A and B are shown apart, each in its own frame.
Chain A
Amino acid sequence: MICVDGIDKSFGRRPAVRGLSLRVPRGAIYGLLGHNGAGKSTTLGVLLGQVFPDRGTVSIGGHDVFTARGRALARVGAIFEAPCFYNYLSGRRNLQVFSRYSGRVSRTQLNAVIDRVGLTQRIDHKVGTYSHGMRQRLALAQALLPRPEVLLLDEPTDGLDPEGIADFRSTLLALHNELGLTILFSSHLLGEVEKICTRVAVMRRGRKVFDGDWRADAAGENRFTLVVDRRPEALELLARAGLITPPRRADGPLTLATGWGLADVNAKLVHAGFGVRTIAPRPRTLEHFYLDQRALAGDTPPPASGDAAC
């Protein structure tokens, strides 16, 4: 449904995206993860034809975003991090204004969308009086007006309270189930992405370092936490004995070699006189997976907590 092929984009001398290729299949909920400045927003900008890539092609539904923008974006809705509207107009007027850019929308459809996002009571009030949560719901309404097949969401839950995040998530999942939407979801909130997305792409300094189903990452099953005295020596011993795959960084994640268990690692260390304080399999959460990807990418250590650092 969404095809990104070999995108490069620099702003001045600063590369923002390098050699990015993505395939988002129809009906998928796809997470786009990365640190600030990783290139997520630039990627979404390119997808919407708002940012011109230096190289590469982008298509949505088989239509090139830059040569057939009208057809490519006809059934696309987008929400950005800070929902910006005309504060001096009512929510309804805002929706009417935005819908005019993609064709006329009937009053019935407009009311149905307003009802769906739960803004019926306040829709005729000026947007300047709306809370952040209401603005985000209005943003969702404007994204739904063109009867989208694709939703592009750029940090949509930033700034929402826990209740607002839960509401947004359940609305999004309901929309996905009912309408079969393809959703590309960029977020810092790994917990949200974990609950919503079936696949993720991880970006690091403009490059994609992972793309796929993070739960199916085989190496993740063998990762473990180890807190031990004289860690560098301990790791050298384990690697020499073939119990772990040699780590790229001494403070990076550890992976058991095939055929060995944590008991073997523990026994080896204890027999060699190392004081083992913690040894445990790493929980398989998206946060751990993401931090591992960052560490494996080579230049940023995971946070210094015992769990993440080992």
Chain B
Amino acid sequence: MWELYKLYARRRTYIGFGAFLLLQAAILAMLQHPRAKQEVGGLLAANGLGFAEHYQGLTLAIVVIAFSFTFLGGLYVALVAGDIVAKEYEEGTLRLVFARPVSRVRLLGVKLAACVIYSVSLVLFLGVTALLFAGAYRGGLGKLFIFIPEEDLFAFYDTAEGLWRYARAVCCLAGATVAITALAFMFSCFKMKPAACTILTLSLLFIDVVLMNLPYFRSLRPWFASYHMGLWVRTFHAAPPWPAIAESALVLLGLSGSFVTVGFAHFVRRDLK
């Protein structure tokens, strides 16, 4: 509880939330551009779907999430999780904390929980505000339309089904984000500067994304973490590939568990001086 209080008492914790709001507004404004409308309209018309009812809240919210999370989500999650231990060490407060009879494992557990809650709340915030913004902007939720060629995904749903799938996908994205949190948290447990934790996390994440997207590695995509982090998108398939989604969830769980274990194992043996 106090760990969360400390986290949310810092102004920088809210930068992520604020930045998402700004980016959402920017993306929605761009989507109003005639060329953007023309592109999507053409696609919808070619498949016999009406532009007015599909180019609305649900559809645009997914576009907003896909773009804003790719660029900012990892950054803010890595920033907070990378800071959580390393910053306290750097500022000297960790030494004062460990002058108290608190176990290292317990303290790390509390800090990890705070990071996970932050990450999940950030994604849920993004999901809710994207829907609210897009809905308000286009005057309603409308029907859901999603088209992602790389995933062989082309689907459209009515409002109720679309809303349910949207909520489910956002929850899956929140779960997937925990892997980034765990990676940054692991680095934070090592003796390094907070900024280095964030940079390392983002570097690994970007390398993973870049390699995964190289056409030459298409057959190797399941070897990349970012492929599994995309599990939220696969829940939009008319018949979601649940075994593959479950496998991705397990891979992410395994990665997160490994990162956290390495971080804990190092930290409990580390000299704090």
Q: Evaluate contact between B102 and A101: CB separation under 8 angstroms.
A: yes
Partner of A80, one of B6, B96, B103, B107: B96
- Taking CB as reference atom, which chain B residue is nearest A42? B273
- Taking CB as reference atom, which chain B residue is nearest A143? B99
Interface string of B76-112 (1 = CB under 8 A from A): 0000000000000001110111111111000100000
Residue of A48, A52, A84 ringed by the most chain B CB atoms within 10 A: A84
Nearest chain B CB to A246's CB is how many angstroms away?
A: 41
Task: Give residues 230-256 of B contacting A (CB, 8 Å).
Answer: none
Q: Evaluate contact between B6 and A89: CB separation under 8 angstroms.
A: yes
Return chain A residues, CB-CB under 8 Å to B6. Answer: 86, 89, 97
Q: Evaluate contact between A101 and B97: CB separation under 8 angstroms.
A: yes
Interface string of A27-68 (1 = CB under 8 A from B): 000000000000001100100111110000000000000000
CA distance A97 to B5 in the complex (A): 9
Nearest chain A CB to B268's CB is how many angstroms away?
A: 10
Return chain A residues, CB-CB under 8 Å to B102. Answer: 101-102
User: Is A146 among interface residues, defined by CB-CB distance under 8 A?
Assistant: yes
Q: Evaluate contact between B272 and A98: CB separation under 8 angstroms.
A: no
Interface size on A, residues (CB 8 A): 37
Q: Evaluate contact between A50 and B101: CB separation under 8 angstroms.
A: no
CA distance A86 to B11 in the complex (A): 13
User: Is B10 among interface residues, defined by CB-CB distance under 8 A?
Assistant: yes
A-B contact count (CB 8 A): 78
User: Is B269 among interface residues, defined by CB-CB distance under 8 A?
Assistant: yes
Partner of B101, one of A69, A80, A85: A69
Interface size on B, residues (CB 8 A): 23
User: Is A261 among interface residues, defined by CB-CB distance under 8 A?
Assistant: no
Q: Evaluate contact between A45 and B101: CB separation under 8 angstroms.
A: no
Q: Evaluate contact between A48 and B271: CB separation under 8 angstroms.
A: no
- Taking CB as reference atom, which chain B residue is nearest A50? B272
Q: A48-B98, A50-B271, A89-B9 are in contact. Are A84 and B92 (CB under 8 A)?
A: yes
B binding-site residues for A, Cβ under 8 Å: 2, 5-6, 9-11, 91-93, 95-103, 107, 269, 271-273
Q: What are some 15 contacts across the A-B interface (CB < 8 A)?
A: A45-B271, A50-B95, A50-B272, A69-B101, A78-B99, A80-B96, A84-B91, A85-B96, A86-B6, A88-B11, A89-B6, A97-B5, A98-B96, A100-B2, A101-B101
